[in-house]
Amino acid sequence: MSFSNLGLSDKVLAVVADTGYTTPTPIQEQAIPHVLARRDVLGIAQTGTGKTAAFSLPSIDRLMESGHRRTPRSCRMLILAPTRELAAQIQQSIFAYARYTPITSDT
């Protein structure tokens, strides 16, 4: 299976290609279609298996698809992480994944 079979937009697929990802990991292959279908997802996988991409790539697509802009002093998506270090890693990934989109990330 390839990322193009998962239903991601062209902008997100361009980022996936630029990042060097070639085939989705099992967590990505299973989670991405469910997030795109607006289903709740609970994923458990080892460190380094691409969990951040599994939820953030389709989330970026969904945010772009909605067409709504963030109003001042509000957010459109909230990601909770158990440590500051993990939150910083997730934010760096989202900056990279959203670089071809109007989506921004704040701390």
pLDDT value for 68: 67
Cβ neighbours for 56, distance < 8 A, ≥ 6 positions apart: 79, 90, 93, 94, 97
pLDDT value for 70: 66
Total length of the chain: 107
User: Can you give the pLDDT of all 107 residues of the chain as single tens digits?
Assistant: 889 999 999 999 999 999 889 899 999 999 999 999 999 999 899 988 999 999 999 999 998 887 667 677 777 788 899 999 999 999 999 999 998 888 777 76
Which of 77-84's residues contact partners 24+ apart within 8 Å by CB, and which partners? none
pTM of the complete model: 0.85
